[in-house]
Chains A and B, each alone.
Chain A
Amino acid sequence: MAKFGGINLSSSEEVLHKTEDSDSTSESGALELRNLSVGYADALISEINVSIVQGETIAILGSSGIGKTTLLRTIAGLIRPLEGEVIHDFPKRSGIGYIPQRLGLIRHSSVRSNVAIGARTRKPKWYPALFPLGSELNSDIDSALAELSIGEYAKTPVRILSGGQQRRVAIARALVQKPKLILADEFLGELDKENVDSIIQATKKLISETGSTLIMVEHHESRAYQIADRILRIKDGKIVEEVSQ
């Protein structure tokens, strides 16, 4: 199914629950972007109306500099929308896993410490920052490291890993959070096909286990089709195409 030039891209019946107030209802895992305009001084993308159900994988396609990262940062709550709303009921803590374009890893910390940052969000806010995580979270970290084939580098500082291995660490960090939503900004970077395939496979498996929604920005069309349930194409500051598969 493809819609060209459509503004209201999804009125999917599968949307579980919508709410205006993110803190007032039970967590449905649904996300709605309503009349959203994103940008800094001027709008880069406007009139975004998208509804996303829990567990869906969305790929956002578009050329460089068009505002895809800005859209992702707005959904993550890092910048305010110029207009409209991002409506969801995810918990503020651990609800969103974010993999920025530059991965956002702590270069001097070990692989395990980096992934542990994600796991820590599953502890309550008041849990002291210096206290250990406990056996359950530690075993989740071990599983995520093993699933993404980086278990042997657990004690290695991230700065000396290859680009592909660093991407696996960033994915493990987001997934071990068990977030409702994962926002990934070109998280596959310029990896070779073999690496891309194996990361996509591991990511898909872990997402299906955690039931997380994934919104990814991608500029490789083939990768977007390989992983996403729905593809949104952005052009001239608007969403111009939606493809479900």
Chain B
Amino acid sequence: MNNKFIIASVILLSLTWVFLDDLVDDWGQIESAPDRLETFFYEDLWPPDWSVLEAEEWVDGTLHKPNGELCTESYEIFCSKAWTGMEITIKMAFISTLIGFIISVPLASLSANNLVPLPIAIPARIVLAGLRSLPSIIWALLFAIALGFGPLPGILAMTLYTIGYLGKLQYEAMEGIANAPLESAMAMGLTHSERLVHVVIPESSNDLLSQLMFMFEYNVRHGTVLGLVGAGGIGMYIDNYINPPFAYDKAFALLIVVFVVVVIIDLLSMFARSFVTEQGDVKRPKWWTVLLPAGFAADYYNKSKDSDSEESE
């Protein structure tokens, strides 16, 4: 570790401490925090109320979906708030992520300064910055005012934010690709769109896929927040439970469901990216490992990697 790195680290940490001390007036807050958190956790959150995984039973004994439709599914869970809410949230996130990705890739290519001159890159970057400077909840609020409540304002909000956020990650990934393939393509006379489709996208595919899956995961997580402005999905149910009459244990159960979905998306991302990573760096996962908890999946790969290397020896 060289001296410059140590000095820079010390300066940054000192600045962090100075800013923190400037912002926090009462350090005594921290002392009582564990007790208050413990009380809240055991009295309101724990144990999670797993009735959110069940259909609603009406007084006549029939089972219904949250929207009032009769439950005709083979398993009750498919009619539960957790399932139906998550289904809507995942659909919203899927649509927003995909449309956002399709729009952000060409915009990012117009922002990358190794692909276009600065007079084109700067306006494109300003557009992307504009789109992501408003958080998606503000976009959702604006669309909810314009269109009313429901999934559509949520989808539009997440799409706009996705374009701004993903576009920035993408142009940075594009700027990081090796120069040689681009130079060859330029010398050959390929057009901007040909360079984008046949050189830049494949060369940065690992990053683009990772960002795409991260954005999908982000949008699923953010679906829980967008529910607060009536954008529908699982967030709407969470919002209902954290408002009077409070049912934090049910909200907690729904948050655990969100967590499980996020972990599954992460594993899917690992699987998808395994197709574009250097062979040997990552062993391609089997499709069914997405069903394993993260720790088990890691154990599986470590063991099978060890056995592979023993065989090769």
B181 within 8 A of A: yes
Contact with B along A11-54 (1 / 0, CB 8 A): 00000000000000000000000000000000000000000000
Contact with A along B172-215 (1 / 0, CB 8 A): 00000010111111111111011011110011011000000000
Residues A78 and B186 in contact in the complex (CB < 8 Å), given A106-B198, A107-B203, A108-B203: yes
Contact of B187 among A96, A107, A159, A160 (CB under 8 A): A96
Contact A98–B190 (Cβ < 8 Å) = no
Which positions 81-95 of chain A face chain B at CB distance < 8 Å?
Answer: 91-95
B279 within 8 A of A: yes
Residues A100 and B180 in contact in the complex (CB < 8 Å), given A94-B188, A183-B187: yes
Contact A105–B181 (Cβ < 8 Å) = yes
B313 within 8 A of A: no
State the majority secondary structure of interface residues on B: helix
A213 within 8 A of B: no
A177 within 8 A of B: yes
Size range of the chain A interface in the assembly: 35 or more
Contact A108–B206 (Cβ < 8 Å) = yes
- A185: nearest chain-B partner, CB-CB: B180
- B185: nearest chain-A partner, CB-CB: A117
Contact of A125 among B184, B185, B191, B276 (CB under 8 A): B191
What are 27 A-B interface contacts by the 8 Å CB criterion?
Answer: A73-B183, A77-B187, A78-B183, A78-B186, A78-B187, A93-B189, A93-B190, A94-B188, A94-B189, A98-B183, A99-B184, A100-B180, A100-B184, A101-B180, A102-B178, A102-B180, A103-B180, A104-B178, A104-B180, A106-B203, A108-B206, A108-B276, A113-B202, A117-B188, A118-B188, A120-B198, A125-B189
A residues near B (Cβ < 8 Å) are: 73, 76-78, 91-109, 113, 116-118, 120-121, 125, 128-130, 159-160, 173, 177, 179, 183
